Each structure stands twice: as C-alpha cells, then as structure tokens.
Copies of this chain bind each other. A is one copy, B any other.
Amino acid sequence: MTELRTPVIIINFKAYSEAEGPKAIKLARICAGVAEETGVNIAVCPPIVELGKIARTVRIPVLSQHLDPMMPGSATGWATPSMVAASGAVGTLLNHAEHHMMLADIRQAVEMCRTAGLISVVCTDSASSSGAAAFFSPDFVAVEPPELIGGDTSVTDANPEVVKGAVDTVRRVNDNVAVLCGAGIKTGEDVRSALDLGTDGVLLASGVVKHKDPRQALRDLVSRI
C-alpha cells in the first residue's frame, strides 16, 4: 500500500477554471514546492483529465477526485481503479459531496482500491455517515458538512461538534481509519483547530485554488502544523 503520511493537507482542485490544463500543472508544482520547503505532507487532486500528466510530473502524492468501481474492459469514459493506479496516482477521493455514490459502490470502490494498491478517502457529510463509511475500512474518512463547503467559515469554527463526532464515531468502528475534515478551511489556524479536534489533516479546495496567491495561502495553511 502506498502511504499518505499524516498529518496531511489534501488540495482538491475541483473543476475550477483556475485549475484547468497548464494551470493545473502549475498549481500542482506550487503545492509540491511548498511541501518540499516546509516538509509538510501535501497531496493534490487535479482535474481527472490531468491525473496522469500531473501524477508523473510532481513528487508529492496525487489522488484522483473520483473513480468508478468497474473492472478494466468495456467502460468507456469511466475511471477504473486499475487505470487510476496505472496513471501514477496513489489514491482517490470517493463520494465527494459533488459526486455522490451509491452505498454499495462505495463499499466496492474501497475494496477495489485496496486491491489496486490505492489509498481511499471516503467523503461524508456528517458524523453518522462517517461511522458508516468507516465500516468499509477505507484509509481515510473526510467529513465535510455540505452547507459549509465553499463558504467563508471553517467547519472547525462553525461546527466543531461534527468534526469531533466524526473522529469519535470512526474510532469506535475502526481505529485504523484516519479522519480528515473540510469545508471553509482557509488558514493555518483552521488547520491547527482541525488537528486539535483529533483529525489527521484537512481536505480543502477554494482556500488554495481560488486564492490570488496559492503559494502564500499554502504557506499559511501549513504554518501551525
């Protein structure tokens, strides 16, 4: 199994126009640069069409934003675990709030990731969903209350209970599953709060990708780890 050392900051590029084509590659390089200069574990989730390109370009861990639990073969346009692994990516997000998955598909995707040597990060919307996801033994559960995603207030301020609840619930089900939190995280202070609440890191997007100076944003984010 590839490792994603913790604490970790995962940057989800989403489908933001700030992270398309060459801009995605440049942003990934910025993230890699900050990881190198600070020694903090930073991973990136580029647009799916740039996954292979970026996985072969930067030396930090690259994760897919999604994959479909399908075997190699007649699966036109889908992203199989096998092709994601062959692209050089080390893992994937699953069930992001913008890409919901069937319960049965999450379970199967996590299993297929394990077989393919991919790290699985199952996104959830609540403490109870985090506990549910933990039953499938992914490597990470990342809790993000949907109403806070893309907003200006960090989940660690707006709803620390959901973060703590996710940590507790996941630990109760499976102590080997690491917990991340996300939604509204923008500063080093937010990251510090996330870790203090018991998480192993954060998942964020706009706070870096849409920032006018992503490098500066990242340096601030890692400053309190």
Contact = CB atoms under 8 A, between A and B. Distances in A.
Contacts of A149: 74
A149 B93 CA distance: 31
Contacts of A14: 73-76
Chain A contact-residue range equals 35 or more
A48 B79 contact: yes
Interface string A20-41: 1111100000000000000000
Interface in A80-108: 80, 82-89, 93, 95-107
Nearest to A46: B52
A72 B18 CA distance: 9
Interface in A133-166: 133, 135-137, 149-150
Q: Work out how many copies of this chain go into the complex.
A: 4
Contacts of A125: 104, 107
A197 interface: no
Interface stretch (A1-9, A63-71, A186-194, A216-224): A63-71
Contacts of A15: 70, 72-76, 78, 80, 82-83
Interface of A: 12, 14-17, 20-24, 45, 47-53, 56, 64-66, 70, 72-80, 82-89, 93, 95-107, 124-126, 128-129, 131-133, 135-137, 149-150, 169, 173, 205
> Across chains A and B, which 10 residue pairs bring their CB atoms closest together, nearest first?
A66-B77, A21-B86, A132-B132, A20-B86, A15-B75, A65-B77, A17-B72, A49-B51, A53-B53, A77-B99
